């Protein structure tokens, strides 16, 4: 299969199972460009039959893949990275027409994906385990890491290209085989284009499989993942609401899960913060991909002594962001993913304004494009400021504070615990505050969106559990204890 994104034409996609692009016996469904509504693909609407075939293929491929020499895996990962680099321009185009991603965000994902492939290429050479001292004379005890088997992944529509790599690449790097169910909103950039890349790189058949489904028809595929004994782990990136449903299934099936969920992601600007740098960091952190990323900044707490200057500077910078078709290289703010997303943002903005909030900029939509919006003086009971439910879009709330402790307690008053940022010129002061945050990530003088391929991204509380990067070895391998005794044992009977 060849994925194309030519203007006015639509790709017809199929599933990728056991190294082959299968004929779609089931109906197809339309994938549309969120900017103009054009159909960009007709994707295969798979279900239980395709999922079962994909899991069987992964299970059959697992023994050989797990036993493959590290150098062979390394060669494949590096070749895949080269292909990602070579296809940069067409990948940018794909992410624009399928997911509304700007060139800046698409290029950001491509660079991270290439870097992660190149870093993962060396992970097969990591130490395989430890030798543990035994209290039993003549006994040697070794603890080794073994891959789990088949890992099934759910890949999201937002940040689709990079987050899909993260979902399946980490299990592959540690010797597992994979089956991916991409979001129906972005089946190509959340899975199918990856299959093209891995196929060209020469990955063995069955190591990576993709099954797509029509809107509202995920359950049949999901059920197979949880029911199959071959699937040892479920890797999910998405909302905490969906994760609770999947978690209940995992509990019944006793399946391991890795979850990367939502976040409220506060930023605290102390009185000694560099205002110009803070404006740049917050603009990037809040409005990258129209605020549709789990690590986007949602609420900014600003010391009152610098509040007015910061708000004025931030508002001016945000107003300068170009809005429009994400195919335009200069556009930063493109469309939201669908009408429901626009409706949620508008309802929450209007709720805050009706309660007395001040609109600094934004607050209007044109089709699926919602202007980047900044609210100040938002009452504590407004939906968008409580931290109880993530607002997924280009909406930023700013609150002044007189006391750092009060701001810190407010920033922590959320069920989420993914990312947080602290802006200050005083390194010690920043580190002291960071140590107390109950989040998986804290950045000092950087956006909540800061990311690198090898770093352990992940959250606590309702933001999930498990980590990406090198630390994913904890999630996608299991420990095996082996002992060897060279002397006769002593037994109580």
Catalytically active residues are 260, 294
Nearest to 167 by CA among 234, 88, 232: 234
Q: Is 304 left (phi over 0), alpha (psi -120 to 50) or beta?
A: alpha
Alpha-carbon gap, residue 393 to 242, rounded angstroms: 18
* Cβ–Cβ under 8 Å, residues 454 and 119: yes
Report which of 446, 421, 425 is spatially closest to residue 434, judged by C-alpha positions: 421
Assign residue 194 a region (left: φ > 0; alpha: ψ between -120 and 50; beta: otherwise): alpha
Q: Which run of H or E residues covers position 153?
A: strand 150-155
How do the residues of the chain divide into helix, strand and coil, expressed in percent and rounded to 5? 40, 25, 35
First to last CA, the chain: 66
The structure tokens listed for 157 are: 């529509």
**Host H or E run for residue 194:** helix 193-201
Residue 64: CB atoms within 10 Å = 13
Beta bridge partners of 267: 300, 421
What tokens were used for 185? Answer: 């909103």
Angle at 119 between CA 465 and CA 256, to 5 degrees: 25
Sign of CA dihedral 201, 204, 205, 211: negative
State CA 47 to chain mean position distance: 24
């Amino acid at each position: 299969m060849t994925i194309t994104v030519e203007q006015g034409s639509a790709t017809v996609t199929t599933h990728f199972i056991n190294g082959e692009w299968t004929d779609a016996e089931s109906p197809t469904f339309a994938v549309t460009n969120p900017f103009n509504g054009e159909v960009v693909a007709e994707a295969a609407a798979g279900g239980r039959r395709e999922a079962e075939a994909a899991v069987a293929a992964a299970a059959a491929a697992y023994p050989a893949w797990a036993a493959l020499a590290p150098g062979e895996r390394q060669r494949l990962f590096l070749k895949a990275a080269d292909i990602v680099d070579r296809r940069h321009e067409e990948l940018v185009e794909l992410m624009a027409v399928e997911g509304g991603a700007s060139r800046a965000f698409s290029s950001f994902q491509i660079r991270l994906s290439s870097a992660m492939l190149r870093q993962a290429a060396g992970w097969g050479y990591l130490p395989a385990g430890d030798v543990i001292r035994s209290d039993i004379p003549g006994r040697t005890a070794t603890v080794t890491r073994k891959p789990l088997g088949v890992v099934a992944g759910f890949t999201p529509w937002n940040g689709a290209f990079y987050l899909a790599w993260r979902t399946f690449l980490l299990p592959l790097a540690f010797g597992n085989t994979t089956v991916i169910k991409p979001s129906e909103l972005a089946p190509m950039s959340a899975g199918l284009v990856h299959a093209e890349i891995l196929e060209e790189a020469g990955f063995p058949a069955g190591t990576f499989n993709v099954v797509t489904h029509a809107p509202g028809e995920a359950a049949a595929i999901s059920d197979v993942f949880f029911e199959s004994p071959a699937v040892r782990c479920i890797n999910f990136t998405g909302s905490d609401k969906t994760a609770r449903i999947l978690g209940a299934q995992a509990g019944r099936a006793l399946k391991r899960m890795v979850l990367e969920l939502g976040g409220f992601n506060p930023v605290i600007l102390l009185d000694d913060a560099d205002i110009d740098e803070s404006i740049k960091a917050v603009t990037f952190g809040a409005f990258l991909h129209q605020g549709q990323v789990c690590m986007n900044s949602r609420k900014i707490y600003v010391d009152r002594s610098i509040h007015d200057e910061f708000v004025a500077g931030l508002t001016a910078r945000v107003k300068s962001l170009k809005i429009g078709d994400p195919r335009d290289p200069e556009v930063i703010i493109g469309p939201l993913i669908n009408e429901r997303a626009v409706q949620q943002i508008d309802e929450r903005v209007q709720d805050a304004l009706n309660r007395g909030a001040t609109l600094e900029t934004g607050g209007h939509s044109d089709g699926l494009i919602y202007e980047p919006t900044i609210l100040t003086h938002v009452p504590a009971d407004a939906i968008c400021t409580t931290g109880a439910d993530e607002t997924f879009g280009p909406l930023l709330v700013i609150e002044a504070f007189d006391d750092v402790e009060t701001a810190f307690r407010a920033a922590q008053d959320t069920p989420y615990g993914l990312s947080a940022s602290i802006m200050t010129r005083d390194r010690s002061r920043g580190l002291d505050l960071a140590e107390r945050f109950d989040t998986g990530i804290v950045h000092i003088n950087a956006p909540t969106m800061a990311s690198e391929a090898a770093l352990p991204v992940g959250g606590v509380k309702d933001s999930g559990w498990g980590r990406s990067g090198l630390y994913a070895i904890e999630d996608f391998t299991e420990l095996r204890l082996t002992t060897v005794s060279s002397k006769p044992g002593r037994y109580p009977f």
